[in-house]
Amino acid sequence: MSEPSSSPRISFYKGREIPLELHKVRIVQKLHLRPVERRLEAIGEAGFNTFLLTTRDIFLDMLTDSGTNAMSDQQLGSMMVADDAYAGSASFTRMQQAIADVFGMQHVLPVHQGRAAENIISQTFVEEGDVVPMNYHFTTTKAHIDVNGGKILEIFTDEALKIKSDCPFKGNLDLDKLHATIAEYGVDRIPYVRMEASTNLIGGQPFSMENMREVRRITAEHGIMLVLDVSLVGENAWFVKQREPGYADIPIREILRELASLCDVMYFSSRKVSSTRGGAIATNRIDLFNKMKDLVPLYEGFLTYGGMSVREIEAMAVGLYETTDETVISQSPSFIRHLVEELDGAGVPVITPPGGLGCHVDAKGFLPHVPQSEYPAGALAAAFFIASGVRGMERGTISSVRDENGDDILADMELLRLAMPRRVFTLSQVSYVSDRLQWLYDNRSLIGGLRFVDEPKVLRFFLGRLEPIGDWPKRLAEKFRKDFGESL
């Protein structure tokens, strides 16, 4: 394994900030930018749900970073030397070693993806009536805790849900609320506290090392287990280095080690690390490992592959080492920052400070004339696709659920998430995103709401179909053609 290079500090003439790529492109994939007429048709065929678009109609796919990061030559090369074996594969040994080297964790359980780790952890530790406090939930995390009769408690700070903020660590857990929660429910009803690195659903916002240390101190005092979701930990570590006093000169690998040393159990989705399937649970506590391990052969596969192919296991191991390379881990946050600052400067409402994962556009601020009952984030995602061919993801009320009376539970925030998978896009493509979003903002009064025509009972955002209220998509496309005369 080659040593990760340390990141040179690059400055530019006259204090400009250019997020310089420290990699080169060696394999490319042709993209298609369809004319606006086709984009309008395509979003109609997709029931105004960007999940139902197909990539032949998409120019830039910013739906998610899950399984879409660019792979390195080292990762692809490693997949060719994988060791095929049902049991005892050398590929698994390499992955175990990577987890030990990067996180200092000795006991590893392989799983087929992140939610499979959540299934095993929740089944093992959560009982009927339990509560699991956390800084913020992720969709699959909540679902698995619910299924096992538990309930999640989100105890984020007041800053977490503010769109505009200077708070460097909006992903922090509120420590006063943690004390109060422990006092209210008692340690017996709290199987573990969960911390999520770079909180996915509130804008990829990190927590600080100081906060993690305090959470560790409080949970240890009460003998409560601490679980860390490290799916997006590289970016969180990067923000600690950038934003937390005392960490500027500490290498990412040491920050990752310190973060991991503060939890009892960690798990991750390898879809975010190496763009393959897979994931793992890791711990230094043999008692916890033994409690969980029997579920791996039951749900995943033998203990040395856990539902993954050996090729994926190799790519994951290399991906973990690359997470400690600052030139790799800084790429997505620096592009996101570039986009967020440009949009913010142009008056387009976006979440600040910039996080990891993607740029999050505030649909409530963008479309104040669209009531939440008409799904402004979903409408904005559809409108932006028409205007650009760029696919983002709705993270608002469509991603929420209905209450027992059948009424929508309105989401805390209405966001259009534009994910920035690692090393996939160029800076000129990011500039295109900014250009089209600024045009859309100037024409925002043309955008109307959506309503469901076909609504699945569970996880409706994946497969639900909607229709526009009025003929706004057509009028938006007409205005676009008038302004740009685009026909490609």
Ligand X SMILES: *Cc1c(COP(=O)(O)O)cnc(C)c1O
321 a catalytic residue:
no
Helix, strand, coil shares of the chain, percent, nearest 5, are: 45, 15, 40
The residues, any chain, with a CB within 8 Å of residue 206's CB and separated by 6 or more, are: 168, 169, 170, 171, 197, 198, 199, 235, 236, 239, 240, 243, 355, 356
Catalytic residue among 125, 136, 138, 385: 138
Q: What Cα–Cα distance (Å) separates residue 467 from each residue in 262, 398, 448?
A: 48, 13, 11
- Least distance in angstroms from the C-beta of 271 to ligand X: 4
**51 or 441, CB closer to ligand X?**
51
Q: Nearest distance from residue 450's CB to ligand X, in Å?
A: 26
CB 110 within 8 A of CB 92: yes
Active site (annotated) includes residue 461: yes
Q: DSSP string spanning 411-430?
A: -S--EEEEE--TTTS-HHHH
Q: Is 271 helix (H, G, I), strand (E, B) or coil?
A: helix
The identity of residue 117, as a single letter, is A
Of the pair 66, 74, the CB lying nearest ligand X is at: 66
| Cβ nearer to ligand X, comparing 108 with 343 | 108
Judge whether 441 counts as a catalytic residue. Answer: no
Q: Which of 253, 395, 417, 436 is catalytic?
A: 395
Residue closer to ligand X by CB (options 235, 322) is 235
Interface residue list for ligand X (CB under 6 A): 66, 113-115, 138, 140, 196, 200, 229, 231-232, 269, 271-272, 279
Q: What is the DSSP letter of 47?
A: T
Point out the catalytic residue in the list 68, 124, 139, 140: 139
Do the beta carbons of residue 133 and residue 178 sit within 8 Å? yes
Q: Please, which residue, 89 or 113, has the CB nearer to ligand X?
A: 113
Q: Is 14 a catalytic residue?
A: no
The position carrying tokens 């299934």 is 119
Q: CA 332 to CA 322: how far, in whole Å?
A: 14
Nearer to ligand X, 7 or 124 (CB): 124
139 is catalytic: yes
Minimum Å gap between C-beta 70 and ligand X is 17
Closest residue to ligand X, based on beta-carbon distance: 114
**Shortest distance (Å) from residue 316 CB to ligand X:** 12
Instruction: Tell me how far, at minimum, the Cβ of 232 lies from ligand X, in Å.
Output: 6
In the annotation, is 59 catalytic?
A: no
Task: Classify residue 224 as left (phi > 0), alpha (psi -120 to 50) or beta.
Answer: beta
Does 192 participate in catalysis according to the annotation? no
Which residue type occupies 409? I
Residue 66 CB, shortest distance to ligand X, in Å, is: 5
Residues annotated as part of the active site: 86, 138-139, 229, 272, 395, 461
